[in-house]
Amino acid sequence: MRRVLIVTLTLTLAVGCGRETRAPQSTNTAVDDNTPQDGGTLIRRLPADVATLNPVIPTSRYDRLVMNYIFTPLVALDIDLKPSPGLATNWDISADGLDYVFHLDPKATFSDGTPVRASDVLFTFKKIVDPTTEAAQVAAGFDRIDMTRTRVIDDHTIAVGFKEAFAPQLTKFNDVLVMPEHVYSKGDFKSGYNFNAIGSGPYKLVRRVAEQEIVLERREDYWTRKPYLKTVIFKPIIDFNTGWNALKRGDIDESELTSDIWMMNSTRPELQKDIDFRRFYYLSVNTIAWNNRGAILSDKRVRRALAQCVDLKSVINNLYHGTARAMNGPFTPDQWAYNPTVPVIEFDPVAAQHALNSIGWLDTDHDGVLDKDHKPLKIDLLIFTGNPSSQQFGQLLQSELKKIGVVMTLTPMEPTALIQRILAGNYDSAYLSWDLDPDPDPYGLLHSSQWPPHGQNVVFYKNPETDALIDAGRKEFNQSKRADIYRKLHEIAAADQPYTWTLQVSVKWGINKRVRGVKESKGWGLFLWYPGEFDWWIPASKRTHDAPAPAPGTPQPR
Amino acid sequence: MSAYLARRLAYAVLTFFGITIVTFTLIHSVPGDPVTFYIGKSGTHGVPPAVIQAIRHEYHLDESLVAQYGWWLRGIFTLDFGPSVIDHRPAMDRILEKLPNTFALNFIAFAFAALAGIPIGLWSASRSGHLFERGSSVVFFLLYSLPSFWVALLLMQFFAVRHAWLPLFGMTSDDYLLMTTAGRIADRIKHMVLPSLALTYAQLAFYARFTKSALTEVIHQDFITTARAKGVSGPAVLWRHAFRNALLPLVTLLGLTIPYLLSGSVIIETMFQWDGVGNLYLQSLLSRDYPTVLALTVVTAVVTLFASVLSDVLYAIADPRVRVEGKR
Amino acid sequence: MKLQESGSWRDIWRRFRRSAIAMIALVYVVVVAFIALFAPLIANTKPLIMRTASGLQFPSAGDFFGEKEGIEQLPQGDVVLRAPIPHSPNEVDVAHRLNAPEHEHHFGTDDLGRDVLARLVHGARVSLTVALLAAVIALLVGSFFGAIAGFYGGWVDWVVSRLIEIVLCFPFLFLVLGIVALFRPSVYTIVIALGVTTWTDAARYVRGEIMRIRELDFAQAARASGARDARIIFRHLLPNAMAPALVSANFSVATAILTESALSFLGIGVPLPAPTWGGILSVAELHIEYAWWLALYPGIAIFTTVAAFNVVGDRFREALDPRG
C-alpha cells in the first residue's frame, strides 16, 4: 500500500513538474521529492555587501547572516527563540543566578580540524569584553560579566561569572560566536579578519569577491548533524527591484521583497507556480517617540490624545495593504510577555479633541490652532530621510492632527544627525523603529536609569512603578512569574504612552519553490535560529544551479 | 617661468591647507560623530561606556580639536588616515579600491563628451547661417538643461525596464566570474553604457557650445579678416588661425574639468549603484566616518589643485603677460 | 560684455527681441513665475469665489502666503468659481495612491494620493523661490568680493582669489550636506547653502570688470573729486560692472533649480511635505516600473524651466554685445 502511495506521489510530482527539462543524472525514481536529499547549491541575496566577517565586530545584520554558517554560537535559539544547545550541549546555572557552567560538545571542531576547547571560548569572551575591540553590539550583553570568575575548568567545560543575576543573560550567549584562539590571536584582530574566517560552523568560507559573491562550502568533517545543502552562495544585490527580477528569473533562490513588489506580484498565479510568497513578523516595531520631558508632551493625557489621531487601520490597509499589525505596547503579539487584554488605542480624533479641550487646550484666539496660556499646540516630528514609509506615516499623521487644530511639523533628518538630536533630548517627537532582542526585557528603552547617555531610553520616561517591574523581571528566573510581571508592565506602559507603539510591519519574502524545509521562527523570520536555514534542501531534480556532470575531457568553466 | 610656477605652487599649498581647515571645521560642527553612528546601530541596549571611550580614543575624539587637526595633517603626509568606521580597514584602502571605478566612469563620459562635443562645436561654428546658429545653440541649451537624475530615470525606464537590453544596476553581472575574458569586457562595457550616457550628455553640450562660441569669437576678430584678405583659403583660416587661438581657452576649460573626473558623479553613482567614490562620499558623510571623509577630501583637493595649477601653467606658457603681471 | 559700449538698456532689449526663440523662452519664464506667484489660487481645494450671506468671499486667497497651520472652515454659501485645479498639494488620500492620470487627476496621484499637477504647480513656487533667493545671495556675495578684489587689488585681491579657489576646490555636495545637516533643514538653509557655494562666478566677472573700468575716465574723475572708496565702488563702478554679473545670475537661477531638485531627489533638499519637483522624482524612482507619470511630468517641468532660463540668459549675454 505504501509503495503504491510513494509511486503515485512520485508520478504526480513528475507530472506537475513536467516543465523541468534537465535530464536526471540517473533514473532512480525511488528518490522522492518529499524527503530531504543531500547536496545542491543555494543562492541567496544579500541586500548589502558584507563589511566584515569578524564575529565580534559585525556592524549589520547581513554580516551575521553569513557568519551564521561559519561560526557556532555558544547557545543557540530555537524556533520559538528559546535557548537551545549550540556549541554547549547543556549548562548549569547557580541558584543565585550569578554563575554559569557550560559543557561543550566534545566532538566540536573548527574547520581547520582543531578541536574546540574551553580556552577558545574564554578567548572569545576576552575579546568581547575588551573595550578596545569596540564590539559595540555584543559587549552590551556582557557588561556585568566578572572576568575573575570566568575561567576554563577543563577542555570542555567553562565557567562564566557575573556580578549580577540577570534572567535574560542566557539568551545573550547566542551572540558569542566562538573563534579559534590559535588563529585569531595572531595579527591585527580588528582589521585582519574581515574576510578571513575560521569557525566551528557547518560551512567554511571558500571565496569572497567584493560586491560579487561569497561562496561557502559544507564541511564534510562537520561534527554534528550536517545540513543538506552542499554549497551556499551569497550575492550582494542592493536594489530590491533587481533582486526581485533575479528571483523571478531563478538566478537567486530567495530575496526579501518590498511591500509594493509583494502587492503587485504575490497573487499572480503564473508567479505562484514557482515562487513561495511568504510574510512574517520580525522583532521590529515602529514607534512614535515622545519627549516625555517636553513642556507639552510631559502630560500623558496629551500623548494619549495624539495617539488617538493615528489612523492605524487606514495606514495598515492603504499603505501596507493589510500586511502590518497594530501594536499597543512594548511587546509584540508573538512574544510570551505580550498581554492580549490591553486594547489598541482607537482612532478617534473627535475624542482626542475633546480630551485636549478638557485639559485646557482650546482655540482661544480662533486661528484654527489649539492653544493654552497663549502657547499654540505645535509639535515637531523628526523622521529619517530616505525612508519613504516613515515619511508617508508622518504626512498622514500631520494631516489628521491638522483637522483637530494640532500643528505637527515634519523635519526629515539624516540618520546620524537625528540620532544625535534624540540622544541630546533636543526634540519633540520622532518616528523610530526598534529592533528588539529575543528576550523581552525592555530595560534599555523604558527604565529611568537608561536615559541617554547611559542608555536608549530616548523618551526620558520615568515611572517608579515600571522601574520596579522592570527590575523584578530581570531578576526573576521563573518563567511564569516573569510573564506575569511583564503583562502588568504592558498594561501600565500602554496607559502611560511614553512611546506610541504603532505598527509591526510584516517582512515579505520570496523563495523559489524548489527549496524545501523552509520554516519561520517566532520573531527572527527564516534565518539565524536553529536549525533554521540548515534544514533547507533542494531535490536533486531541481538543482538548476549545479551544472550537470560534464562529459569526460570537457574543460570546466572557471 | 619657474618663478611663476613656484609662486603658483605656493598658493596651491596654501589653498590646500585652507581646504583642510574648512573641511575639518565643518565635519566637526555637524551634529553626530562616529560614536553616534555606533549607538544608532546598537538596537535597544546601547553601547557600554567603556566601549564608547575606546572608540573616542581610537578616533582621537577625546583630544582637543587642534590635536585632532594635527593627527589629520600627519595622516596627509603618511597617507594613513586611520581606520574606517564601517569595517575598520584603513580608510585609504577603501578609497583606492573605489577610485578606479569612479575615474573610469567619469573619464569615459568626459572623453566621449570632448571627442564628440568639440568637433560638433567646430562644425557648427564653421557653418554660417543665422537659423542654424540659433538652432544649434538652442539644442545645446536644451541638452544641458536636462537634470541628470531625470535622464538617468528615463534611461533606466526605457532601456532596462521596458526593453531589457541593458542592465540597470551595478558594474558587473551576477555571473561575471563565470564569463570568459572577452565576456567580462563586454559585460563591463554593457554596464557602463547607461551611467556614462547620463553623465556625458550635459558635458557634451557644454563643450560643443563652448567650442562653437570660442571659435565664433575668434573668427570675427580682425586678424582673421586680415588672413582672409591676404587670400588664405577657408579651411586653412579655420584650422591654422582660428582654431589654434580658440584652443587656449579650451585647454583651460579641459584643465578645469579634471576635478570633475572624481567628484561629478555622486548622484549617478548612487542611482546606478556604481561602486565609486561619489557613493562612498555620501555614505561616509552620513555615517560620520571621519577618516574616510577627510581622506577623500584630501584626495579630491589634491587632484583639483593639480588641475588648476596645470591649467594656469598652460595658460601662462601661452600668454606671457600672465607671467609678468602675476595675475590674470 | 562692456556696458559702456552696449548702449542703453533699451538698445539691449532691442537686440534681445530679435531672437524669436529667446522671446518664447522669456514668455515661458514669465508664465512659470506667474504660476509660482499665484499657485494657491491656481491649485486649491478651496474655491476661488464664493457667494455668502455677507457677499462675495475669496477663500483661497487666504492661502496666498502659505497654507494656514490650523483647522480651516469654509464659509457657508455657494461656490461661484472653483480653482482651475481643484486639488491642494497636501491633500492626502491614501485610498487613491499611485493612480494613473485620468479626468479627476490629470497628472495622476503620488504615493500618498496627492494630486501630482497640484504639487507641480506649488512646486514651481518652491523651486523658483529657492533658485531666485540663492541667485540673489550668490550675486550679492559675489559682487561684494569681486568689487573689493577688483578695486583694491594687492593683498585683498590675493585673499579673495584664494577664497574663490577654496570654494571651487571644495566638494560641493559635502558643503551643502554639511550646512543642511548643521542647521534645521528648511528652505532658508538650502538657499544659504546654495548661495554660499555658487558666488564665485559672479565674483570673477565683477572683479574683472571693476579692474577694467577703474582706470577709465569717469572713475578717475570720481577719485579726483575725493569721494570715499565705498562710494566710488558702489555708486560708480558696480552699476557698470553688473551686466556680466547679471548674466551669470541668470545662469545661477537655472543651475539652482537643477541643484535644488537634485538635493530634493537625494532627500536632503527642502523638507517634506513641501512639494518640490525633485521630491516627486525621488518618489518616482521607487515606483519606476508602474508609475511613469511620477517620473515624466516633474522632469519636464524642471527641464523646460531650466532650458528657458538658459536660453534667456544666453540671449541676454549676446544682446550686451553691440554686434549682437
**Cα angle value B30/B33/B37 (rounded, 5°):** 125
B137 CB neighbours in chain C (<8 A) are 314
Mutation target to probe the B interface, by most B beta carbons within 10 A, among C28, C168, C174 is C174
Interface residues of C toward A, Cβ cutoff 8 Å, are: 68-72, 90, 92, 94-95, 97, 111-112, 177, 181, 184-185, 267-268, 271-273, 283, 286-290
Interchain CB contact of A453 with C (< 8 Å): no
Specify the length of chain A in residues. Answer: 558
Per-residue pLDDT band at A123 (split at 50, 70, 90): very high
Distances (CA, A) of B65 to B21, C131, C319: 11, 36, 53
Residue partners of B127: CB distance under 8 A and separation at least 6: B133
Nearest by CB to A385, from C71, C90, C268: name it. C268
Say if residue C5's pLDDT is above 60. no
Q: Round the average pLDDT of chain C to a whole number and report it.
A: 80
- For the ranges A31-35, A476-480, B116-120, the maximum mean pLDDT occurs at A476-480
In angstroms, the CA A519 to CA A532 distance is: 7
Interface B:C, Cβ pairs < 8 A: 122
* Residue linked to cell 521630491: C279
- Pairwise CB contact (< 8 Å): C271 & A412: yes
Q: Identity (one letter) of the amino acid at C234?
A: F
Q: Which residue of B48, B89, B171 is in closest CB contact with A139?
A: B48
> Cβ–Cβ of B146/C21 closer than 8 Å?
no
Grid cell for residue A200: 566551528
Alpha-carbon span C274 to C126, nearest angstrom: 8
pLDDT per residue over C89-110, tens digit each? 877 777 787 888 888 888 888 8
Q: How long is chain B?
A: 328
Q: With beta carbons under 8 A apart, name residues in chain C contacting B293.
A: 174
Size of interface A-B (CB pairs under 8 A): 134
**Is C192's Cβ below 8 Å from some Cβ in B?**
no
Q: What is the largest CA-CA distance in chain B?
A: 86
| Chain A residues lying within 8 Å of B88, measured CB to CB | 52, 57, 190-191, 194
Q: Quick check: A455 and B170 CB within 8 A?
A: no
Tell me the chain B residues in contact with residue C205 when contact means C-beta distances shorter than 8 Å.
none
Top residue of A416, A439, A445 to mutate, by most chain B CBs within 10 Å, is: A416
Per the CB < 8 A criterion, the answer to whether A410 and C273 are in contact is yes
pLDDT of the residue at B226: 67
pLDDT digits (tens, 9 = 90+) for C283-314: 887 777 778 888 889 999 999 999 898 888 88
Q: Are B109 and B263 in contact (CB under 8 A)?
A: no
- Would an 8 Å CB–CB cutoff place A368 in contact with chain C? yes
Nearest-neighbour CA in chain A from B51: distance (Å): 5
pTM given for the model: 0.81
Contact (Cβ atoms closer than 8 angstroms) between residue B287 and residue B40:
no
Contact C303 B146 (CB under 8 A): yes
Share of residues in chain A with pLDDT > 90 (%): 62
**CB-CB under 8 Å, C173 with B145:** no
| Bridging pattern class, strands A231-236 and A41-46 | parallel
Given a cut of 70, the residues of chain B with pLDDT beneath it are 128-130, 160-164, 168, 174-175, 177, 219-228, 231-249, 251-252, 255-256, 258-261, 263-264, 318-328
Inter-chain contact C172–B263, Cβ cutoff 8 Å? yes
Task: Say if the Cβ atoms of B87 and A51 lie within 8 Å.
Answer: yes
pLDDT classification of A451: cutoffs 50, 70, 90:
very high
Q: Residue B131: closest CA among chain C residues belongs to which residue?
A: C19
The burial class, CB within 10 Å (0-12 / 13-18 / 19+), for A229 is buried
> What band does C181 get if pLDDT is binned at 50, 70 and 90?
low
pLDDT number for residue B162: 67
Subunit partners of chain B (3 or more CB pairs within 8 A): A, C
Q: How confident is the model at residue A118 (pLDDT cuts 50, 70, 90)?
A: very high
Do residue B43 and residue A435 have CB atoms under 8 angstroms apart?
yes
Query: Using one digit for the tens of pLDDT, what is the confidence trace for B122-152?
Result: 777 777 666 777 777 778 878 888 888 888 8
- State the alpha helices, DSSP H only, in chain B: 2-29, 34-40, 49-58, 65-78, 91-126, 130-145, 148-155, 181-219, 222-229, 234-236, 244-257, 260-263, 266-272, 277-286, 290-318, 320-325
Could you tell me if A333 lies within 8 Å of chain C, comparing CB atoms?
no
Cα atoms in the 13 Å half-sphere on the side-chain side of A515: 27
Do the Cβ atoms of C94 and A405 come within 8 Å?
no
> Are residues A252 and A515 in contact, defined by beta-carbon separation less than 8 angstroms?
no
* Alpha-carbon distance values, C74 to A530, B26, C47, C48, C51 (Å): 61, 48, 9, 11, 12
Cβ neighbours around A187 below 10 Å, total: 11
pLDDT of residue B233: 62
Task: Report, as an integer, the average pLDDT of A295-321.
Answer: 90
pLDDT tens for A533-548 read 999 999 988 888 876 5
d(CA A347, CA C313): 54
Pick from A347, A357, A385, A410 the residue to mutate for testing the C interface (most C CBs within 10 Å): A385
User: Do residues A531 and A293 make contact, with C-beta atoms less than 8 angstroms apart?
Assistant: no
User: Count of CB atoms within 10 A of residue C234's CB?
Assistant: 14
**What residues contact B134, with CB distance under 8 A and at least 6 apart?**
C19, C21
A509 CB neighbour count, 10 Å cutoff: 21
| Of residues C94, C287, C288, nearest to A396 (C-beta) | C94
C78-81 β-sheet, strand order: C55-57, C49-52, C78-81
Render pLDDT for A136-173 as a digit per residue (tens, 0 to 9).
888 888 988 999 999 999 999 999 999 999 999 999 99
CB-based contact C28:C311 (threshold 8 Å): no
Q: Which residue has the cell 493654552?
A: A372
Write out residues 100-159 of B within 8 Å (CB-CB) of C. Answer: 134, 137-138, 141-142, 144-150, 153-154, 156-157
- Rounded CA separation A431/A384 (Å): 8
Cα(first)–Cα(last) distance of chain B, in Å?
15
The DSSP call for residue A149 is E
At residue A238, what is the residue type?
Answer: I
Q: Which of B26, B30, B44, B98 is the best substitution to test chain A (most A C-beta atoms within 10 A)?
A: B44
Whole-angstrom Cα distance, residue B286 to residue B278? Answer: 13
The pLDDT tens digits for A225-275 are 999 999 999 998 887 877 888 898 888 999 999 887 888 888 899 999 999
Of C137, C180, C144, whose CA–CA distance to C160 is shortest? Answer: C144
Confidence class for position A7, pLDDT limits 50, 70, 90: very low
- Give the mutation candidate from B28, B35, B42, B51 for the A interface (greatest A CB count, under 10 A): B51
Query: What is the pLDDT, as a whole number, of residue A378?
Result: 92
Chain C hits for A410, CB-CB cut-off 8 Å, are 271-273
Condensed to tens digits (0 to 9), the pLDDT of residues C217-259 reads: 666 776 677 667 776 667 767 777 777 778 788 888 888 888 8
Residue C266 host element (H or E): helix C238-266
DSSP A425: T
Nearest to A391 among C90, C184, C272 (CB): C272
- Provide ipTM, 2 decimals: 0.80
Report helix, strand or coil for A204. Answer: strand
Q: How many Å apart are CA C84 and CA A128, to the nearest integer? A: 66
A435 to chain B: closest CA residue: B43
Cβ-Cβ contacts under 8 Å, A412 against chain C: 185, 267, 271-272
Q: Which residue of C has its CA nearest to B296?
A: C171
Q: Give residue A264's pLDDT.
A: 82
Q: Is pLDDT larger for residue A28 or for residue A111?
A: A111
d(CA A209, CA B184): 15
Chain C partners within 8 Å of B23 (Cβ): 170, 174
Whether C77 and C53 have beta carbons less than 8 Å apart is answered as yes
Beta-carbon separation of A137 and B169 below 8 A: no
Instruction: Return phi, psi of residue B87, to 5°.
Output: -135, 10
Give the containing element (helix H, strand E) for A435: strand A429-435
Structure confidence at residue C182 (pLDDT): 66
Query: Do residues A167 and A473 make contact, with C-beta atoms less than 8 angstroms apart?
Result: yes
Q: What is the DSSP string of A40-56?
A: -EEEEEESS--S---TT
Distance from CA of C198 to the nearest CA of B (A): 15
| A532, A254 contact by CB (below 8 A) | no
**Rg value, chain A, Cα:** 26
* pLDDT of the residue at A27: 44
Q: Percent of chain C having pLDDT more than 90?
A: 8
Q: Which of A499, A490, A489 is closest to A457 using CA atoms?
A: A499
Residue A425 and residue A460 in contact, taking contact as beta carbons nearer than 8 Å: yes
- A-chain residue closest to C285, CA distance: A241
CB within 8 Å of A363: residues ≥ 6 apart: A369, A370, A371, A405, C70, C71
A514 in Cβ contact with A22 (< 8 Å): no
> Is the Cβ–Cβ distance between B70 and B121 less than 8 Å?
no
Closest CA to A170 of A254, A73, A237, A272: A73
Mean pLDDT of chain A: 87
The DSSP bridge pattern shows strands A157-162 and A407-413 to be: unpaired
Q: Looking at the predicted structure, is the pLDDT value of residue A22 above 50?
A: no
**Per-residue model confidence (pLDDT) at position C2:** 43
| Best C46, C67, C69 residue to mutate vs chain A (most A CBs within 10 Å) | C69
Retrieve residue C113's grid coordinates: 494620493
Whether residue B51 and residue A135 make contact (CB cut-off 8 A), yes or no, is: yes
Q: Which residue has the higher pLDDT, B140 or C66?
A: B140
Phi, psi of A213 (to 5 degrees): -165, 160
Q: What is the pLDDT of residue A537?
A: 93
Give me the mean pLDDT over the A368-376 stretch.
Answer: 87
Using CA atoms, how far apart are residues A229 and A215, in angstroms rounded to an integer? 13
C71 or A501, which is more confident? A501
Mean pLDDT of C129-140: 91
* Portion 226-285 of B in contact with C at CB < 8 A: 259, 263, 266-267, 270-271, 281-282, 285
- At A161, list the grid cell: 561569572
CA distance C187 to chain A (A): 12
Which residues in chain B are contacts of A238 at CB distance < 8 A? 169, 273
Output the pLDDT for position A338: 93
Whether residues B147 and C262 touch (CB distance < 8 A) is answered with yes
Res B196: pLDDT: 86
Instruction: Using CB atoms, pick whichever of A140, A421, A557 lies closest to residue B45.
Output: A140
Q: What average pLDDT score do residues A54-80 get? A: 90
Reference A161, options A143, A146, A144; nearest CA is: A146
* Calpha distance B185→B193 (Å, rounded): 13
CA angle A165, A166, A171 (to 5 degrees): 135
* Chain B contacts in chain A segment 204-223 (CB below 8 A): 209-213
Phi–psi pair at C178, nearest 5 degrees? -60, -50
pLDDT band at A353 (very low <50, low <70, confident <90, very high): very high
